[in-house]
Structure 1
Amino acid sequence: MKDKRVLFVSSEVVPYLPENDISTLSFEVPKMINSTGGQTRIFMPRFGNINERRHQLHEVIRLSGLNLVVNDLDMPLIIKVASIPKERMQVYFIDNEDYFKRKAMYSDEDGQLFEDNDERAIFFAKGVIETVKKLNWAPDIIHINGWMASLLPLYLKNYYGNEPLFKNSKIVTSVYQNNFEGELDKDLDKKIMFDGIDEDKVELIDTPNYNNLIKLSIKYSDGIVIGSDHISDELKTFVESIDIPKLDFHALEEFAQPYQEFYIKDILNEEIE
C-alpha cells in the first residue's frame, strides 16, 4: 500500500467506542495500511458517549466554522481530532451539538431510534466531504463502514460530482450484520432531493431501513467488502447481483494480505510490487 491514500469513513472506531466488526476493522485496516507505507485519514461522528477528556479530543478551529444545510436548516459543523495512542493515526470527528451531543449513538433509553438519524447521516456525509476538501487531501480509496456513513457515496457521486479533488477516488463499501431494526424518517429521500439530487437516485430508500441504506451505498461504490461472518440473506443476494469487485469475509488474523491485494489489484487496477 506504499504511498496510497485511503480515507476511512466509519460509524464507529475502536478505541473510542466498544468493539464490534465495524469499530474493530475501522481501526485494524488503517493500522495495516500505515504499516505498509500508505496514508490514512479516519472520520467518525463525535457521539456524546465518547469521552473527550480521556481520548484528548480537541477542536480544529481552521476546519470548523462552516454551516451545512440539512433540509433547509443551517447546521454548524465542528471538527475535532484525536490521535490513537502508539499508532500515529489521527481520527477526525464530525460534531454538531444538535445532532451528536446526546449520550447515546442511535437510539434513546427505550430503544427507539432517534427521529433525526436520517439528518445526522446527511450531515455526517456532507461534513466529511467538506472537511476533506479543506484538508486538500485527495484519497485514492474511500472506504465506507456502517450505515451512518452510507449516504456519502450518493453525495460524492451526485452533489459533489464535479469536485476535482475526488476525480480519481474509488469507493469501497463494507457490508456488516444488521445493526438497527426499524426505519429512519420516511422523508429521508425528500430531504436528499432538497439538495438537488434527482428522485431516481434515491429510490432505494423509499423504505429507509438498514438493508436499503447499505444497498444505496453499494450502488455508488466501486467495490464491496464483506465485513461480518454473517450478513442478511437480502444483502447477500443484492451483493451477488452487483457486478463490481468483491472481497469475501476474512477473519482478523488473516485479513491483511487479502485487503491489500483487493485494494491494489481489484479497486485501483494496479500491479502489486
Structure 2
Amino acid sequence: MNGKKILFVSSELVPYLPENEVSLMSYEAPRMVNSNGGQIRIFMPRYGNINERRHQLHEVIRLSGMNLVINDMDMPLIIKVASIPRERIQVYFIDNEEYFKRKATFTNEDGELFPDNDERAIFFAKGVVETVKKLNWSPDIIHIHGWMASLLPLYLKVYYADEPLFADSKIVTSVYGSGYEGELDDQMKKKVAFDGISEEHISSLDAPSYNNLLKVAVDFSDAVILAAEDIPEDLKQYITNLQKPVLPYVSLQEFEEAYANFYSTEVLK
C-alpha cells in the first residue's frame, strides 16, 4: 500500500459512534492502510449525536461555504475535521444544519427512519466529492462503507463522470449484513433523477430498501467486499452475477492481509 491514496467514505466510524460491524471496519481498514505506508482521507456525516467538544471537531472555513442543490433546494455545506489521536488519522465530517443537527444517526426515538434519509445520502455523496475536489486530492481507491454512503459510486460514475480528479479512481464497496428495515422515502428515485441521472441507472430505487440501495452501489463499483457473514441471499446472488472482483468475507482478525492483497491484485490491477 506504500504511497497509494485511498479515500474511505463511511456511514459510521469509531470512536465517534458506537461500535458495530460498519463503524469498526471503517476504522480498522484505514488504520491498516495508514500503517502500511498508504495515504488516507476519511469522510463521514457529522451526526448530531457526535460530541464535538469531546472529539475536538472544528470547522474548516476554506472548505465550507458552498451550497449543494438537493431536489431543487440549496443546502449549505459545512466541513469539520477531527483527529484520531493515537493513529494520527484525520477525519472529515460532512455537516448541514437541516440534515445532521438532530441528536441521532438514522432513526428517531421510536426507531423510525428519518423521512429525509434519502436526501441526507444525496447530500453526503455530493459533499464528499466537492470537498475532495477542493482538497485537489486524487485517490487511487475510493472505499465505501455503510448505506448512508452508498450513493457515492453512482454519483461518481454518472453525475461527476467528467471530473478529471477521479478519472483513474477505482471504487470498492463493502457490503454489510443489514442496514435498515423498511424503505427510504418513496420519492427517492425522483430526487436522484433531478440530478440528471437516468431511469436505467436507478431502476432499483423504485423500492428503496437496503438491498436495492446496495444494488445501486455495487452496480457502479469496480469491486466488492463481502464484509459480513450474514448478507441477504438476494443481495449476495446479485453481486455474484455482476462478474466483478469480489472478496469473500474474512474476519476482523484476518482482514489486513486479505484487504491489502485485494486492493493490490484485483482493484488496482
TM-score, structure 2 as length reference: 0.99
Matched to 2:154, the amino acid is: L
Match of 2:67 in 1: 67
Which segments of 5 or more consecutive residues in structure 2 lack a partner in the other structure?
A: none
CA distance in 1, matches of 2:17, 2:110: 20
Match of 1:178 in 2: 178
**Is 1:158 matched up with 2:178?**
no
Deviation at 1:179, TM superposition (A): 2.1
CA distance in 2, matches of 1:246, 1:268: 13
Cα deviation code 1:66-121 (max 9, x no counterpart)? 10000000000000000001101010000000000001111111111111000000
CA distance in 1, matches of 2:128, 2:154: 13
Cα deviation code 1:105-161 (max 9, x no counterpart)? 111111111110000000000000000000000000000101100101111111100
Matched to 2:68, the amino acid is: L
CA distance in 2, matches of 1:230, 1:118: 24
Match of 2:124 in 1: 124
CA distance in 2, matches of 1:179, 1:257: 26
CA distance in 1, matches of 2:28, 2:114: 29
CA distance in 2, matches of 1:112, 1:35: 39
CA distance in 2, matches of 1:239, 1:200: 18
Match of 1:243 in 2: 243
Decide which moves more: 167-176 or 230-239. 230-239
Match of 2:229 in 1: 229
Matched to 1:260, the amino acid is: A
Percent identical residues: 64
CA distance in 2, matches of 1:196, 1:60: 30
Which segments of 5 or more consecutive residues in structure 1 lack a partner in the other structure?
A: none
Q: Which segments of structure 1 move beyond 3 Å, counting only runs of 4 or more?
A: none
Match of 1:168 in 2: 168
Matched to 1:37, the amino acid is: G
CA distance in 1, matches of 2:96, 2:4: 31
TM-score, structure 1 as length reference: 0.98
Cα RMSD (Å):
0.6
Match of 2:20 in 1: 20
Deviation at 1:31, TM superposition (A): 0.4
- 1:200-219 alignment to 2 at 5 Å? 200-219=200-219
Matched to 2:213, the amino acid is: L
**Is 1:79 matched up with 2:79?**
yes
CA distance in 2, matches of 1:239, 1:157: 18
CA distance in 2, matches of 1:245, 1:159: 24
Match of 1:5 in 2: 5
Match of 2:90 in 1: 90
Decide which moves more: 45-54 or 249-258. 249-258
CA distance in 1, matches of 2:234, 2:47: 29
